[in-house]
Structure 1
Amino acid sequence: MDLTAQRELARLLADLRRAARQQSGLDPRLVPPDKDTAYRVAARVAEELGWDVGGWKIAAMKAEMQAALRTDSPIYGRVFAPFVKATPVTVAHATLLSPIPEVEYQARLGRDLPPRDRPYTIAEVTDAVASLHPGLELAECRFVHDQAFPPLPAILADGAGSGTIIYGPAIEGWRDRDVPAQEATLSCDGTVRRRGTAAAALDHPMAPLAWLANELSRTGVGLKAGQTVSTGTLTGMLAPRAGQTYVADFGPFGSVTLTFT
């Protein structure tokens, strides 16, 4: 995929984001041939938009979710600053692009993790985290989920389906609490629909954060202080409808509320 095609895809994806619009399928010549090319296009999308990067999303840390998302490794995408929001959040369902709410821990960085030759350890990454929050990721996709849905590299170029991340109050003393074992639930209109733990889905939220720091470092991109990283779903995915309210409940760690009008 030459630079001209990469730029064309980046302009298309930036235009779709600006217009909050989806399209069916993608011209095969614009489908990136591999993940590295896809991530380069995603960086070009950010340049085209000119929006500040407020954070990042991570998905598919373990084999089950990798199979569901058609990947053989974790994936990531940029989340833009206007779409990092505090709970509660209300959104108009009709303006969203195949929205999927996912229960996730979100880590806010207190210092930069710049690119470097030596890999970051989990301990180093943990030390860089200013706060950990209960949260929801509201994923969206610029491609319609139909028979023409393009291969994974096109989705990675689209920020791995990044949309909005919603965070709750910081979890007090999280470093000394049993984060992996804490059950989190996703409720719809008061009925629990999904349950999960970080232990089952991620091992610990710092594990995907360390993976992201090293993956970005490998490609010359760093994490920045103040960015919020949504570390991966604990409870799988649901498709919401207008009029519904979703609550991500982390028990003593807090909760996050998202309403679709």
Structure 2
Amino acid sequence: MQKVIDRLAGELLEAERTNVPVAPLTERFENLTVEDAYQIQLAIAKSKTDEGRNVIGKKVGLTSKAMQNMLGVDEPDYGHLFDDMTVKNGETVRIDSMIKPRVEAEIGFVLRDELFQPNVTFLDVLMATDYVVPALEIIDSRIADWKIKLVDTVADNGSSAKVVLSDKKKTIDEVDFRSASMVLFKNEELIATGAGAAALGHPAHAVAWLANKLYEFGIPLKANELILPGALSAAIDVLPGDTVTAEFGALGWVSVHFA
């Protein structure tokens, strides 16, 4: 199985480098498990860090019941965020630097303290958080035509590509997460609305899930890491010329343009 893990990690790395997608892993290797998929993801992460790229955080995916039902799963997944994935608020991203990108709006958590213990709770997350920030995650699948099952997206780093961060920051006590509203626009047209409750009832629950999942692999959530706890609405497709903006009320706004 290690040979298969190494082979598929290499395929996905090459697909990301060349923007040429690969056929779904689950169609070619029906016996791949979620555990195998995480080993593929970890192998990809090791290759990137060996090249000098730095992990700056993690992302949680599949936090909504609708997405879990679509993929036939009962828990979220996660991926790694690297330093070369960050985009400043309002900057332009080239569509041709990815395969078939989509955009999701999230409330990012930046940790003040490390979380590395069993049974991390919602309150542990709130106490460990330095601040929260409006974010857009640009997702992209290295699997052809987004024909993904859970194993495919886990192996493919949670289908993560880039993250756009606002320059507005708020402390935990400045935000009511359960009712925190999000309004998503594409080219000034209202596309979607959402609230913090969309991510497992509260974004901090998604961060706690991640801390506990990573503990199984002996991986901590480190101080200063950025955690994306899951989308507040469905992902939207983008084309060259599109501008996507998410407004989070008092929390602030974040925007990205595509060329």
Normalization by structure 1: what TM-score? 0.91
Greater helix content: 2
Say whether 1:15 aligns with 2:14. yes
Q: Distance in 1 between matches of 2:200 and 2:26?
A: 35
The answer to whether the 8 A contact 2:26-2:151 is kept is no
The answer to whether the 8 A contact 1:134-1:256 is kept is yes
The answer to whether the 8 A contact 1:133-1:171 is kept is yes
Q: Distance in 2 between matches of 1:151 and 1:207?
A: 24
Q: Distance in 1 between matches of 2:101 and 2:226?
A: 20
Q: Distance in 2 between matches of 1:218 and 1:71?
A: 19
- Counterpart residue number, 1:240: 238
Change (3 A) 1:10 1:113: same
TM-fit CA distance, 1:144: 1.6
Equivalent residue in structure 1 for 2:190, among 183, 189, 192? 192
CA RMSD of aligned residues (A): 1.9
Q: Distance in 2 between matches of 1:151 and 1:27?
A: 7
TM-fit CA distance, 1:8: 0.9
Which runs of at least 4 in structure 1 moved beyond 6 Å after TM superposition?
Answer: none
Deviations 1:14-45 (A, max 9, x none): 22223343234448555662111111110001
TM-fit CA distance, 1:150: 4.9
Q: What amino acid is the match of 2:33? A: D
Q: How many residues align?
A: 256
Q: Distance in 2 between matches of 1:152 and 1:191?
A: 32
Q: What amino acid is the match of 2:115? A: L
Normalization by structure 2: what TM-score? 0.91
Q: What amino acid is the match of 2:149? A: P
Secondary structure of 2:68's partner?
helix
The answer to whether the 8 A contact 1:185-1:235 is kept is no
Change (3 A) 1:258 1:236: same
Which residues of structure 2 form unaligned runs of 5+? none
- Counterpart residue number, 2:104: 102
Change (3 A) 1:194 1:224: same
Secondary structure of 1:9's partner?
helix
Secondary structure of 1:222's partner?
coil
